[in-house]
Chains A and B, each alone.
Chain A
Amino acid sequence: MEKQVVDRAQQAFLSGRSRPLGFRLQQLRALHRLITEREADIVAALKQDLNRSRFDTPLFELIGLENEIRLAESSLSEWAAPRPVKKNLVTASDDVYVQAEPLGVVLIIGAWNYPWALTLQPLIGAIAAGNGAVVKPSELSSHSSDLLKELLPQYLDKEMYQVVTGGIPESQELLRQRFDHIFYTGNSIVGKIVMEAAARHLTPVTLELGGKSPCYIDKNCDLSVACRRITWGKFVNCGQTCIAPDYILCEPGIQQRVIEGIQQTLMEFFTDNPKSSPDYGRIINRRHFDRIVGLMEGCTVALGGQTDSSECYIAPTVLTDVSPHVRLMQEEIFGPVLPIVNVSSIDEAIHFINRREKPLALYVFSSDKKVIKRMLSETSSGGVTVNDVIMHYTVTSLPFGGVGNSGMGRYHGKHTFDQLSHHRAYLIKSLAMESLNQARYPPMSPARLKRARFFMQTWLCRNREKSLHFYFVCLISWTRRSDLAHPIVK
């Protein structure tokens, strides 16, 4: 079945109809209508999948998607236009440019934590770039996947963009097929499987993975604002965000104030009984609930800690005196549990971060420019927000993606378009001006070799400015035909 889906998408792509900008714009508009007209259905599905509040859904998924579609619509002709490349004297009469072209059929594998954003945002880029697509939403957010499968063919070209639902067997079958790009959002373990499957067909991949995003709080900062922002970013979607601050690093001296700041913010956000707040989510399923509860074992609870397996509810929890060696610190938490690890200095914090895999995001809270500079220059991560969390995700002109274990490739805005395009290099010459080419042809003579070298050194123009007069003289000397003698034979 999966093979047929892919074949259909390929036939649709080969028909050429996804190439004209008019088609792409029409599909983008249709996608926009899907989101706006069916918002209520999407909200209902997410409520069932993740107990997402009706405010969180537009806030974290739909508004962003609408903005991305609008951006693509307004910028598509610019993105798809030839991008001229700096020319030099020899190519002055040629056309030299790079042009983005569609790749073909893209496989988009979404994740369950933001089932709409993480599936449709890559799709927007795939459509804008003129590709066909097969979308495989996560089976864990089953209400959203079923809804997407129902809705997409109602709005978009049925063959060009198809949805495949199902679990591991269906995903595996899809990964056996050949695609022109695979865009995967999820965890590193499956990321490796996806890349390995892609290797068989030499398919390029974009992997948006995760990791433990550290959050360093310097003693020199506005602690109450910091705590509020961190609390927001950590507990939104019940901690199930790839760029949620995973753990805090701070000096022991400020730990108590950090805990108090978080506590106060939690009160403001969710009242003293988060379980009853309509704005607090749930863990996606029992398996993940058990996993997170297991991670908390043996740690000191400073805030929260209550759980209810019947609802997959875990209270917003802060843990202290966390040793770097516990299991909690070895894997991405992906839940509403926030460990605080003490470090004695920024050096220790940097060292701590660098001993671990490069994270998807890194957060620094400080009013000291030197601290910020050191953190940025001495660590690596997919992205960074300083003095807030998550927000770098929201600026579409910033590339969003991981590095090392947190992923490869980038997207958002124009970056998605570029990621899902082939940037073909063009040199359009004419058959005239053949005399200029003489320098590179055999037969060799020492004089010709010298001229050819000179030719290479200047016409490749190591980007140094030379006067037009200089070039003119070179041009004249190259076009002399006096030593086009017979080849030198052995």
Chain B
Amino acid sequence: MESHGKVIDRLRTAFRSRVTVPLEFRLSQLRSLLSLMEENEAQILEALHKDLAKPKFEAVLSEIEMVVNDICYAIDNLKYWVQPDYVGKNLATKLDDCFVHREPLGVVLIIGAWNYPLQLVLLPLVGAIAAGNCAVLKPSEISQATEALLAELIPKYLSQECFSVVCGGAEATARLLENRFDHIFYTGSQAVARSVLQAAAVHLTPVTLELGGKCPCLLYGQLDIPAAAKRLAWAKYFNAGQSCVAPDYVLCSRQVRDVLLPALQQALHHFYGPQPQRSVDMGRIVTERHWSRLMDLLGRSGGRVAIGGESSREERYIAPTVVVDVQESDALMQEEIFGPILPILTIESLEEGIELINRREKPLALYVFSDESKVSVSTVLEKTSSGGFCSNDGIVHMTLPGLPFGGVGASGMGSYHGRWSFETFSHRRGCMLRGWGLEKINVLRYPPYRDGSLSWLRWATTTKKKGWSSCSVM
């Protein structure tokens, strides 16, 4: 098996040959990736089912269709994205060409996660290809079936000179990170992100970190609770709660909670029937270790299980569970849950909820359910920060290709999806093309300096009106 160093050298040689630069190459690779998705759907679904018992419904919507849509979006728009941006000029540079040219970075590393094993590797890959890079893919070893499938299919569909899949566990990832890349795209946990960033610092490699955190969900004021409950339940229990943007915990008043609980119960019944364990639409926890972690959290919680609570170790199953009477110091509030357990904390006021949210790290997503948009939505928005924000729904904001998807603070840095992926993997080179003329004007900037020339310069370079970009030295 090829060593990591050799793989990267091979990709770098390919990159240097400039084979990835032409638009046609990028489009052809994107089309091949599309064929990979379309021609192997059954195997993909099977792999996802093996890894996570991922319900077919979920796998199709959140993995296959999301990737296919992003590929199509890139294919349709790439020719616009690669065009140079001509920028505003000023008096001194009127005769010059000033533009921003987007260029590939080189060889990028994409490290995926196990919860959406396909999407979290392939969506960044779409951006990497679109931007003209070569890429090393490192899928998560925890979702083994998908890892093996990617290792099998990628070389069949994409250029083997430019794209490579590396398999293995934490040790393999650490060894991979010793090499130099031109960008590292990591999806996963904060702990590992720190070592990724430290490894990147050695080579001054820019990174994108898509992390997680506890995504709060505030329900406040007048609201249509049954509709909210449905959306909340859908967002929470999708993929058995194993989504980085799943609502992690709920904040609401006692009154709202008392109406919410039966509404959630009803929504869950509608989705999964009276016995969710037997529903094909209910997922499973990825490994026994994570199952134990979740059961431990539930066991240590001081709250009361209001809905669900059933589990099965053999199946790595945990029922859609809601826990009430949860305090801020509870075990469930100490780490990202990443499972189908929803704690509800009661608050007396919106301010109390906002303060609680702000005492914690900035989350990847923040949700507010309310019909009083002016008050609660605006207030929460202004007083909190989060990667993204969605009101009156959950998760869906990340499905819109026009919106950047990414974190802030402990939930990550950088963003992607749609055009944002292309920008992430590009260098924006500022270019100025001057002519030979107007040397007489340049004289103003040359020594020997005189008072007179300085005042001319001040006059000429002062920004006189809005919309003129300024020039500091002629």
Contact = CB atoms under 8 A, between A and B. Distances in A.
Given A63-B457, A63-B472, A427-B391, A195 B204 contact: yes
B202 interface: yes
Interface string A415-440: 00000001111111111101001001
9 contacts: A60-B472, A202-B410, A204-B414, A270-B447, A376-B431, A384-B432, A395-B430, A409-B206, A429-B393
Interface in A255-273: 268-271
Contacts of B413: 202, 204
A443 B103 CA distance: 45
A388 B432 contact: yes
Identify which of A68, A85, A198, A487 gathers the most chain B CB atoms within 10 Å of its CB.
A487
A408 interface: yes
B275 interface: yes
Given A269-B446, A449-B57, A442 B281 contact: yes
Contact of A19 (B228, B369, B382): B382
Given A101-B385, A425-B397, A434-B230, A386 B197 contact: no
Contacts of B202: 192, 196
B227 A434 contact: yes
Interface string A62-97: 011011101100110000000001111001000010
B241 interface: no
A74 B200 CA distance: 38
Interface stretch (A137-145, A292-300, A399-407): A399-407
Contacts of B204: 188, 191-192, 195, 207, 209, 404-405, 407-408
Given A202-B193, A392-B431, A457 B69 contact: yes
B400 interface: yes
A336 interface: no
Interface string B97-117: 010110101100000000000
A426 B57 CA distance: 26
Nearest to A55: B449
Contacts of B391: 427-429
A410 interface: yes
Interface in A467-490: 486-490
Contacts of B88: 397
Contacts of A460: 65, 69, 73, 399-401
Contact of B408 (A383, A399, A424): A424
A66 to B, nearest CB: 7
B298 to A, nearest CB: 23
Contacts of B403: 85, 96, 98, 425-427
A55 B458 CA distance: 11
A391 B434 contact: yes
B412 to A, nearest CB: 8
A98 B56 CA distance: 33
B271 A67 contact: no
A232 interface: yes
Interface string B73-101: 10011000000000111100100101011
Contacts of A16: 383
Contacts of B201: 192, 195-196, 198-199
Interface in A1-21: 16, 19
B337 interface: no
A489 B279 contact: yes
Contacts of B93: 391, 394-395
Contacts of A396: 469-472
Contacts of A221: 436
B435 A442 contact: no
A60 B230 CA distance: 60
Interface of A: 16, 19, 53, 55-56, 58-60, 63-64, 66-68, 70-71, 74-75, 85-88, 91, 96, 98, 101, 103-104, 180, 188, 191-192, 195-196, 198-200, 202, 204, 207, 209, 221-222, 225, 228-229, 232, 268-271, 277-280, 354, 367, 372, 376-378, 380-388, 390-400, 403-405, 407-410, 413, 422-432, 434, 437, 440-444, 448-449, 452-453, 456-457, 460, 462-464, 486-490
A58 B458 contact: yes
Contacts of B73: 460, 462-463
The 7 closest A-B pairs by CB, nearest first: A64-B472, A55-B449, A398-B430, A67-B470, A442-B281, A199-B197, A195-B201
Contacts of B21: 377
Nearest to B224: A431
Contact of B57 (A199, A432, A444, A464): A444
Contacts of B96: 391
Contacts of A378: 18
Contacts of B375: none
Contact of B388 (A200, A424, A437): A424
Interface residues of B, number: 122
A56 B467 CA distance: 27
Interface in B438-474: 439, 442, 445-450, 453-454, 457-458, 461-463, 466-467, 469-474
Contacts of A391: 93, 96, 432, 434, 473
B16 interface: yes
A443 B272 contact: yes
Contact of B434 (A387, A400, A452): A387
B253 interface: no
A182 B468 CA distance: 29
Contacts of B393: 427, 429, 437
A383 B198 CA distance: 27
A380 B103 contact: yes
A67 B472 contact: yes
A247 B78 CA distance: 36
A441 B60 contact: no
B289 interface: no
B386 A424 contact: yes
A271 B448 CA distance: 9
Interface string B373-407: 10001000111011111111100110111111100
A404 B182 contact: yes
Given A67-B471, A395-B469, A462-B69, 17 more contacts: A59-B457, A63-B461, A63-B472, A74-B467, A91-B400, A103-B409, A199-B194, A270-B448, A387-B434, A394-B93, A395-B432, A410-B430, A424-B388, A424-B408, A427-B397, A441-B270, A442-B271
Identify which of A268, A269, A382, A422 gathers the most chain B CB atoms within 10 Å of its CB.
A422
A441 B447 contact: no
B472 A430 contact: no
Contacts of B98: 392, 395, 397-398
A269 B400 contact: no
A487 B279 contact: yes
A96 B417 CA distance: 15
A422 B471 contact: no
A400 B447 CA distance: 26
A460 B21 CA distance: 28
Contact of B400 (A85, A394, A404, A409): A85
A208 to B, nearest CB: 12
B231 interface: yes
B190 interface: yes
B433 interface: yes
B448 A269 contact: yes
Contact of B60 (A413, A429, A452): A452
Contacts of B273: 443, 486-487, 489
B209 interface: yes
A422 B408 CA distance: 7
A433 B470 CA distance: 48
B427 interface: yes
Nearest to B18: A378
Contact of B16 (A196, A200, A354): A354
Contact of B447 (A222, A279, A384, A408): A279
A441 B230 contact: yes
B447 A269 contact: yes
B86 to A, nearest CB: 10
A294 to B, nearest CB: 25
Contacts of B194: 199-200, 202
